[in-house]
Amino acid sequence: MQPPSQSWALMLLLGLCAARTDPERRRNVLLIVADDGGFESGVYNNTAINTPNLDALAQRSLTFRNAFTSVSSCSPSRASILTGLPQHQNGMYGLHQDVHHFNSFDSVRSLPLLLSKAGIRTGIIGKKHVGPEAVYPFDFAYTEENGSVLQVGRNITRIKLLVQKFFHSQDERPFFLYIAFHDPHRCGHSQPQYGAFCEKFGNGETGMGWIPDWKPQYYNPDKVQVPYFVQDTPAARADLAAQYTTIGRMDQGIGLILEELRTAGFHNSTLVIYTSDNGIPFPSGRTNLYWSGTAEPLLISSPEYPARWGQISNSYTSLLDLTPTILDWFSVPYPSYSLFGKRVVQLTGKSLLPALLLEPSWATVFASQSLHEVTMHYPMRAVQQGPLRLIHNLQNRTAFPIDQDFYVSPTFQDLLNRTQAGLPTHWNKTLHSYYYRERWELYDHATDPTESHNLAFDPQYAHVLAELWGLLLKWQWETDDPWVCVPDGVLEDKPSPKCRPLHNEL
């Protein structure tokens, strides 16, 4: 963690002393995470969708415009959020459930583990999607591990009642409550009867069940805002319209949760954070390290520091920063320990609390992806410094993999069908260019916000590529990345960690 400024440290110390002596000012955290959520909200200038509760939260928050996940995959991202460590360092290389069966390393010290040991009550409602239990323990837990993920992650009435239960059973300890929505994740692969995005679940129609607190909103596909990385076709527009309906359900759920926070009397002592785990499940979104796959919404609302409520931060932040931020809020130190007898684990993220007072100059974020589903080994590493983004595709000679969930989606099937029929796709890429990528991709968002022109082989950008590659390698070594030598060499640890060349002509 980067140390805050001296002035910030003094203010924080005074605030902490007051919090410890005044029970009504005891500090708490409410972390709300969307599932495959994006910028479909009024907060981020989407005027086609109605999200009054997120919009209202933004009025009491600092809104980050350059926040990024460190990995564009569900379980790895959640593990990174809850540990402050990238997926290659915490061990959650891919999805946790079923045959994928990835887990974080047994000795990783997660956020809920550290908070519990510090006397802070921990709770989770919704999609957990990480393991093992010993690494991610919660005092209060209603997840897919002990119930239906549809009920704890999409049924906003059920979520509201569970939040009530948590608050009504709250003792004298501060609390960390993690609400992990399953909305607006696709469900065409797992529960197709409810629609592509489970937009019919709980709408009151025959066989769909009924969520009492939800007032479904339906959208005209002709009126949705099509992101630049999605093809503009009737099928994709209808897909986006279904996504909007599901986002609306989550937004109403957020409103219910915040009302319960207020009713319980915790609204003036609770740091509220809203974000998402990875990019939206559309082309170039989830499982990609492009801007469209890693850029995330991020709202942070502090009742103690209203100076920047309603303002926008353009500083570059990572979801790896959330663990340092929450530890900083609670004044809980990060422990000294190592993994596999290697160097002492250091958080490479920073506390975001200083940004609630003054705009910082943060400009660099990193990303690391290895798998999604167990069959999808396509390791990538990336660094963004200001407008410049470098992506290293470590095994670019193989085709970029497509996950089961996205494959059956109306949007991807539309791309397949149009490509096979030789029809215009109305997309900014071709399937061939999407599958087969250059080893290095370099984009300048200042002149190319849609990442359409790869500058990696432009001689004028050779020094930029070299500088960014150096930054990326430094971060990989600092975080003990097992893939640091791929694809040109083999990592040998003894006598000291070093890349040994393969001479494999890559």
- For 283-321, how does the pLDDT look when each residue is reduced to its tens digit (9 = 90+)? 999 999 999 999 999 999 999 999 999 999 999 999 999
Write down the pLDDT at residue 357. 98
The answer on pLDDT for 25 being more than 80 is no
The answer on pLDDT for 14 being more than 80 is no
> Buried (b) or exposed (e) across 12-37, using 16+ Cβ within 10 A?
beebbeebeeeeeebbbbbbbbbbbb
Name the residue with tokens 């926040």: 67
Percentage, residues of the chain above pLDDT 90? 93
Cα 366 to Cα 68: distance, rounded to the nearest angstrom? 9
Q: Report the chain's mean pLDDT, rounded to a whole number.
A: 95
Q: Which residue has the higher pLDDT, 53 or 12?
A: 53
- Give pairs for 161-166: CB < 8 Å, separation 24+: 162/125, 163/125, 163/256, 163/257, 163/260, 163/261, 164/260, 166/123, 166/125, 166/140
Could you tell me which residues come within 8 angstroms of residue 430 by beta carbon, excluding any fewer than 6 positions away? Answer: 419
- Residues 162-180 have a mean pLDDT of 98
| Residues forming a β-bridge with 124 | 141, 178
CB atoms < 10 A from the CB of 245, how many?
A: 21
pLDDT bin (cut points 50, 70, 90) of residue 12 is very low
- For 318-332, how does the pLDDT look when each residue is reduced to its tens digit (9 = 90+)? 999 999 999 999 999
- For 388-423, how does the pLDDT look when each residue is reduced to its tens digit (9 = 90+)? 999 999 999 999 999 999 999 999 999 999 999 999
Write down the pLDDT at residue 23. 42
Write down the pLDDT at residue 52. 98
- For 433-457, how does the pLDDT look when each residue is reduced to its tens digit (9 = 90+)? 999 999 999 999 999 999 999 999 9
The answer on pLDDT for 78 being more than 80 is yes
pTM: 0.95
- Residues 276-286 have a mean pLDDT of 98
Write down the pLDDT at residue 18. 38
Write down the pLDDT at residue 305. 96
pLDDT bin (cut points 50, 70, 90) of residue 26 is confident
The answer on pLDDT for 21 being more than 60 is no
Distance of CA 144 to the CA centre of its chain: 19
Active-site annotation, residues: 74
DSSP conformational letter for 115: H
The answer on pLDDT for 489 being more than 80 is yes
Write down the pLDDT at residue 342. 85
Write down the pLDDT at residue 20. 39
Query: Does the N-terminal peptide bond of residue 495 adopt cis geometry, omega within 30 degrees of 0?
Result: yes
- Residues 126-147 have a mean pLDDT of 98
- Residues 119-131 have a mean pLDDT of 98
pLDDT bin (cut points 50, 70, 90) of residue 345 is very high
- For 350-385, how does the pLDDT look when each residue is reduced to its tens digit (9 = 90+)? 999 999 999 999 999 999 999 999 999 999 999 999
Write down the pLDDT at residue 79. 98
Report how many helices (DSSP H) and strands (DSSP E) the chain contains, helices first.
Answer: 14, 14
The answer on pLDDT for 22 being more than 50 is no
pLDDT bin (cut points 50, 70, 90) of residue 506 is confident
